[in-house]
């Protein structure tokens, strides 16, 4: 093992339905455990691995960044990536590996994240998207719902959009850079970028968006929900399988 103070950052994508979130748990499959298992097969040691986010059980990732100390690695990052992919046994893949400075941290160096929530909006189910979108049979008029994005964008106390039981109780202010929707035929996607997210924040935003789609919320109501700070005033927490961590910014 060489002395190297640098970090190696791995950029992953994974199918969340195979995992109970990122963080290692007893008797449960997690992304962190699978990453460490694969690295141990490659390196002969089991390195500590730190991730950029504690994604929930069932949530997917198009881009997830984690890091380990370079001192454990005796091969170039690209070779590590290839060896990792040859040894991982779950629906998980690494598509980039690179050296980072010693002070890099996958979580604390992160400047922001973008999530996407997907709705299959049709009169019929799509069997190919059952595990990757939430089925909504009633029409979502995404253009008429632009006010939702307008009202959540900006710096706010998002306590009303945080699940009860969260360990965060005092720092609930976040800055949302954008909340926008795209429709591709029957697929409606919500993109949300912020400097950070509270527990289940995007899923609650998605559930609140659906309340507006059903006509239960009008222009100005989202702002009032934020101002109330009460979780009960926001919509239900949308199901995890429609959510993807889409991009991580450094």
pLDDT of residue 164: 80
DSSP state of 28: B
In order of their start, the domains of the chain are: 7-100 (3.30.70.580), 112-249 (3.30.70.660)
Using CB atoms within 10 A of its CB, is residue 20 exposed (0-12), middle (13-18) or buried (19+)? middle
pLDDT of residue 3: 67
How many other C-beta atoms are found inside a 10 Å radius of the C-beta of residue 17? 15
φ, ψ of residue 41 in degrees (nearest 5): -65, -35
Count, residues in the chain: 250
Report helix, strand or coil for 64: strand
Question: Which residues in the chain come in under a pLDDT of 50?
Answer: none
Q: Are 77 and 87 in contact (CB under 8 A)?
A: no
pLDDT of residue 230: 95
Residue with tokens 């299959």: 120
**Which residues have C-beta within 8 Å of that of residue 40, sequence separation ≥ 6?**
46, 47
* Helical (H) or strand (E) element with 178: strand 173-184
**d(C-alpha 176, C-alpha 224), whole Å:** 17
Residues with catalytic annotation? 56
pLDDT of residue 170: 77
Q: What is the pTM of this model?
A: 0.94
pLDDT of residue 219: 97
């Amino acid at each position: 093992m060489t002395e190297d103070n640098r970090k190696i950052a791995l950029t992953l994508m994974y199918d969340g339905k195979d995992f109970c979130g990122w963080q290692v748990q007893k008797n449960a499959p997690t992304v962190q455990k699978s990453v460490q298992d694969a690295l141990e097969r490659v390196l002969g040691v089991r390195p500590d691995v730190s991730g950029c986010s504690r994604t929930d059980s069932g949530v997917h990732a198009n881009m997830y960044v984690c890091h380990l100390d370079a001192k454990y690695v005796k091969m170039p990052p690209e070779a590590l990536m290839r060896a990792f992919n040859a040894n991982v046994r779950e629906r998980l893949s690494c598509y980039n590996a690179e050296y980072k400075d010693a002070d890099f941290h996958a979580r604390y160096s992160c400047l922001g994240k973008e999530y996407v929530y997907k709705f299959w909006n049709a009169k019929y189910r799509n069997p190919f998207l059952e595990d990757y979108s939430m089925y909504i049979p009633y029409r979502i008029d995404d253009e008429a719902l632009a006010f939702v994005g307008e009202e959540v964008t900006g710096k706010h106390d998002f306590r009303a959009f945080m699940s009860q039981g969260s360990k965060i109780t005092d720092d609930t202010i976040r800055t949302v850079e954008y909340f926008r929707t795209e429709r591709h035929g029957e697929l409606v996607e919500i993109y949300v970028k912020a400097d950070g997210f509270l527990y289940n924040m995007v899923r609650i935003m998605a559930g609140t968006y659906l309340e507006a789609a059903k006509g239960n919320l009008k222009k100005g109501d989202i702002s009032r929900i934020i101002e109330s700070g009460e979780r009960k005033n926001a919509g239900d927490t949308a199901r995890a399988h429609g959510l993807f961590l889409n991009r991580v910014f450094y």
